[in-house]
Amino acid sequence: MKAILADDHALFRDGFVLLLQQHEPDMQCRVADTFDDALACLQGDPDVDLLMLDLNMPGMLGARSVQAVQEAHPGLPVVILSGEERASQMEALLAAGASGYIPKSSSAPVMISAIRLVLAGGVYVPPQMMTGARSTPRVQLPDTAMHLTGRQLDVLRLLAQGRSNKLICRELDMSEGTLKTHINAIYRVLNVINRTEAALEAKRLGLVD
């Protein structure tokens, strides 16, 4: 298993790598200190299983950077690590296609659990989002620890209605690249491989009418 951790704070970066090595000894973790360096690492090793990005480092442009990674590397899980805990910020990054947002104030067990959830195909939504004034609704699926954001639920409902990508983009006012990242996240969470399976599973779980 391979991962890339990009963070310009050496103390946090080195400490987090050590934490990963202690709990995930089979993981090889490369490090970078800028967003551009992280992209260079990805170009040099396309078999990376996880990309972890600091929100406030040189070259990082928030949701725009997440979208750029998803468009260049479809399906690659991206986790945001940040000291910022604004619900609106978290919402924007998850909506852009991030598979998780881990506040740096989280305990070590929470961080490791979040990473394992994302590697298993889930989406980690921090508790802070559930108490924020603009928090995104979260649905806990039966018998799983995986979650969908409110934006992903909107996409899922329209998928279940048989809408095309073009119509969904128009109705939800999003780009096709952003839509594809949401659809990929939905497939991972529901453990399906196409729209038909996603619609059937969503109906079975009661997520759509």
Domains of the chain: 2-136 (3.40.50.2300), 147-205 (1.10.10.10)
Name the pairing type of β-strands 147-148 and 139-140. Answer: antiparallel
- The first and second tokens of residue 11, run together, are 């103390």
Each residue's pLDDT expressed in tens, for the chain with a length of 209 residues: 899 999 999 999 999 999 999 998 889 999 999 999 999 999 888 789 999 999 999 999 999 999 999 888 888 999 999 998 888 888 888 888 898 999 999 999 889 988 988 887 778 888 776 544 333 444 444 443 346 777 788 889 898 888 888 999 999 988 888 888 788 888 878 878 888 888 888 888 777 77
pLDDT for position 197: 84
pLDDT score recorded for residue 129: 67
- Identify the pLDDT of residue 28: 92
pLDDT at residue number 46: 75
pTM: 0.64
